[in-house]
Chains A and B, each alone.
Chain A
Amino acid sequence: MQFVKPDININFIAKRYIAFVVSAVMILITIISLIIHHGPKYGIDFAGGTLIQIKFDAPTQIADIKTGLGTLDIGISSVQEFGNVTDYEFLVRAKGSASISEDVSLKIEEVLESATGGKVEIRRVEMVGPQVGKDLREKALLAMFFALLFITIYISGRFELKWMLSGVMAGALMFAVYILQLFAVSIPVLMTGALLVTLVLFWFLELKYAMGAVVALIHDVTITIGLFSIFGKEFTLPIIAALLTIIGYSLNDTIIVFDRIRENLRKHHKKRLGFILNKSINETLGRTILTSATTLLVLITLFIFGGGIIHDFAFAMIVGVLVGTYSSIFVASPILLAWQKRQRT
């Protein structure tokens, strides 16, 4: 059985401008959504606060829960259904991050049982203080930065076989980050600065494959963040794990195509680059789609059966894998073409 015929020949490169517009629009929507929502919506891991997961033994109205909890002075900010409808589970969020002291959790049970007339089980309580939230936020951003840095070094070393140059890159990047740190800029600014420096360095050091791969990565992560923002989903620790995995995994498809491009460049060195890119993308189209398909298959089962806690993680991964597959075809390879134009002029 074969989905993709071996002799398939779709002219992807000719359609790259459409793809550029699509990508640009998606990134623009991400930025607009982030501006409208005042940045990413942080879950309690990063913003601090309290989250209580409760389970009833019978259908219960959110309004009843709210009125019940209203009698307690614990600053409830939202009550929301969680997981499957038939589980009768709810997430209660409170702004305060004082530890659920002594009797509050007992009181919650009492109050809810009298307000709704059903049996209540408190399944999970999470409280994160503001200081811990801030620490975790910085740690998460640093982790993303380091993942990008190491992968960049690996890619530039591996693809261009210029380990020396990639070492220089890493050094320059560290230096840039150090300088930025002296100005005590916030971590997001620091990361944006570091990424810009990375891209500029790639451009001048002529590390074109690395540039294509990293642009595709930034593209994937940005759009995933954007979709999260649009759907009003929260950023939590598992979501950061998903983003990091996307950084590692969405490269797979890019690597498959790039490896083929280098192979074809050796084989058909007389042909135009556009032709070679197109040929390589088409030749590897089958595996690009298949590898993503098997991963999507398990992610979708995780999304459906994995339960509420893992739901958003699966969602982020699904988006990341889809966007990653798209970007390896329509973003990473066409960037190589931009290079050729630069060399000609």
Chain B
Amino acid sequence: MKKLSWRPVAVLIVILTAIVYVLPSVWPGVWPHKKINLGLDLQGGMHLVLEVDTNKAVEDAIERIAQELRSRLRKERVRVLALDRVHGTQISTRIVGKASIDQFYKTLDTDFKEMRILSESESDETLTVVIDLPDQEAEQIKKLATDQALETIRNRIDQFGVSEPDIRNQGKNRILIQLPGIKDTKRAKNLIGRTALLEFKLLDETNDIGAALQGNVPPESEILYEDNQDPTTNRTTKTPYLVKKRTLLTGAQLVDARVQIDSQYNDPYVSIEFDKKGGRIFESITEQNVKKRLAIVLDDKVYSAPVIQEKISGGSARITGQFTAEQAHDLAIALRAGALPAPVNILEERTVGPSLGADSIRKGLMSMCVGGILVMLFMIIYYKGSGIIADLALMLNIVIIAGGLAAFQATLTLPGIAGIILTIGMAVDANVLIFERIREEMNLGKTPRAAVDAGYSRATLTILDANVTTLIAALVLFQFGTGPVKGFAVTLSLGVIASLFTALILSRLIFDYLLINRKIKSVSI
């Protein structure tokens, strides 16, 4: 008897703990513990993997450095024949004249000492130099861009209002986003994926747009388009603008962006508010360029190009365009959260509609019930009374799996349900091994109690071995798997561990109770 006493206690504790964790999922609100998490494939939602174009971030940094270098050299009166960004992330420059070359090196050594010189050659007093950023610096920029993109996207999603989003880094420059229960996937994708780089640029009104469209674009300007949709014909027209390349002010200087409704036409627009520095810059831009046109450019698209009537102080502006209320709302979110440091591409997208998820749950539960009942009937028919013990163990097994899912806050997916169903078939295996052994021992003429003892002790090792190999496979799968497949690894591992417990400890306990306490003389097997 003494030997027995720890088992009932252990079994009771395990079962009670499992029930405590499971109850909130069955009967919400009974006590404050979370329900079992459902995966995106069961509750519907969107799974995205984004790649941050970090090379673009490095190119942008190099472009900024090139502009800075150009203006520094102009200030120092260095004769520059050419200074261009080449091969994406290199700056190639040609300097003429001895004095200019000396001054160039001086500038490079004092203000641009982080730059690496890739090649230099001098002939006829003309110096050709190619410089770039050292690898370490470039890596730093890339990492920063990824981190910043993650933060920005998290901000946007938080403001968009998704319950329990999961946003995390994946590998070097990838971002994994899971948005459970989201309905308007198209809108969410637009919000997440847009760069939302807001720029204020002056129109180039000294040159002719017609000539530029012929291919004669002045070096300091570029052609950007404004999309116009005719509300009656649904046709989109593009209006070209010749815009100066230089950016006067960006969305980085924003403190707030809100949707407002135009009182005259009832059209929504986004009003933005600059911070102090931004307000000052905006004031001086408008002061210096009265009667000129200022283009409001978002992600290289012109939204409007109004004529500046007078100096605007107070630090606010408005972005008008053909917005629906939703589009204006999302644009305001994107502007508040800030621009992405580099464009992002969608590498992987999985969207499951809520009705399919509900269908999957229904089908999963259906197969679970049918499979479970079939197995239980089979065990009772084949092993009679002992079969009932195995069935009891099986039911508790499922409760323990569910409890484990809730306790570890693991996610139940459709393959996860398949894992539970598979466990139903595999959990009784342990009992089959034990019962077969008991039958064998009884055929040898042992008493029921001795046969049960021998059955358990001989079968235990085999059962352990068989389950350890499955557990190894499940754990490897857990390491490798993503999303739904990981859910399968979780339920399979839980199932294997639970079935070891129920078969080796719980069913043994019942046998011992019947044989020792109730002193039954024969085993129904």
Contacts and interface: CB of A to CB of B under 8 A. Distances in A.
Interface of A: 1-2, 6, 53, 99-100, 102-103, 105-106, 121-129, 131-132, 139-140, 142-143, 146-147, 150-151, 154-155, 158, 237-238, 240-241, 244-245, 247-249, 251-252, 255-256, 259, 283, 286-287, 290-291, 293-299, 301-302, 304-307, 309-310, 313-314, 317
B350 interface: yes
Contacts of B186: 102-103, 105-106
Interface string B261-300: 0000000000000000000000000000000000000000
A245 B371 CA distance: 19
Question: Which residue of B382, B425, B432 has the most chain A CB atoms within 10 A of its CB atom?
Answer: B425
Q: Which of B41, B186, B465, B488 is most buried by chain A, counting CB atoms within 10 A of its CB? A: B465
B351 A306 contact: no
Interface residues of B, number: 74
Contact of A125 (B345, B349, B461): B349
18 contacts: A99-B189, A127-B346, A127-B349, A132-B49, A151-B473, A154-B472, A238-B415, A244-B477, A248-B474, A249-B426, A251-B470, A256-B433, A287-B436, A291-B433, A294-B379, A298-B425, A313-B418, A317-B422
A123 B352 CA distance: 6
Nearest to B48: A99
Contacts of A301: 367, 370-371, 374, 421
Given A122-B353, A131-B347, A238-B485, A147 B473 contact: yes
Given A245-B470, A295-B429, A305 B363 contact: yes
A78 B282 CA distance: 55
B421 A143 contact: no
B469 A151 contact: yes
B402 interface: no
Nearest to A53: B356
B484 interface: yes
Task: Name, among A151, A237, A299, the residue most crowded by chain B CB atoms within 10 Å (CB to CB).
Answer: A237
Interface string B365-377: 0110011101100
Given A99-B349, A124-B353, A305-B366, 16 more contacts: A123-B352, A131-B347, A140-B480, A143-B480, A143-B481, A155-B469, A241-B488, A245-B470, A249-B469, A252-B469, A255-B466, A301-B371, A302-B422, A306-B363, A307-B364, A317-B422
Among A125, A126, A155, A301, max chain B CB count under 10 A is at A301
B355 interface: yes
> Lowest 9 A-B CB distances belong to which pairs?
A248-B473, A143-B480, A295-B425, A298-B371, A298-B425, A248-B470, A307-B363, A99-B346, A301-B371
Contacts of B346: 99, 127, 129
B233 interface: no
Contact of A297 (B190, B378, B440, B484): B378
Contact of B360 (A146, A147, A154, A309): A309
A123 B353 contact: yes
B489 interface: yes
Contacts of B364: 306-307, 310
A286 B414 CA distance: 33
Contacts of A150: 472, 476
B473 A294 contact: no
Contacts, number: 215
Contacts of B228: none
Contacts of B432: 287, 290-291, 294
Interface in B372-403: 372, 374-375, 378-379, 381-384
B196 interface: no
B476 A146 contact: yes
B414 A309 contact: yes
A322 to B, nearest CB: 13
A306 B472 CA distance: 26
Contacts of A155: 469
A244 B359 CA distance: 27
A238 B379 CA distance: 29
B343 to A, nearest CB: 13
B366 A6 contact: no
B371 A302 contact: yes
A305 B367 contact: yes
A129 B349 CA distance: 9
A69 B459 CA distance: 60
A142 to B, nearest CB: 7
A124 B465 contact: no
Contacts of B462: 255-256, 259
B410 interface: no
Contacts of B185: 105, 125
Nearest to B489: A241
Given A294-B429, A306-B363, A256 B466 contact: yes
B207 interface: no
A251 B426 CA distance: 13
A275 B480 CA distance: 43
A248 to B, nearest CB: 3
A310 B418 contact: yes
Contacts of A147: 472-473, 476-477
Nearest to B350: A126
Contacts of B482: 237
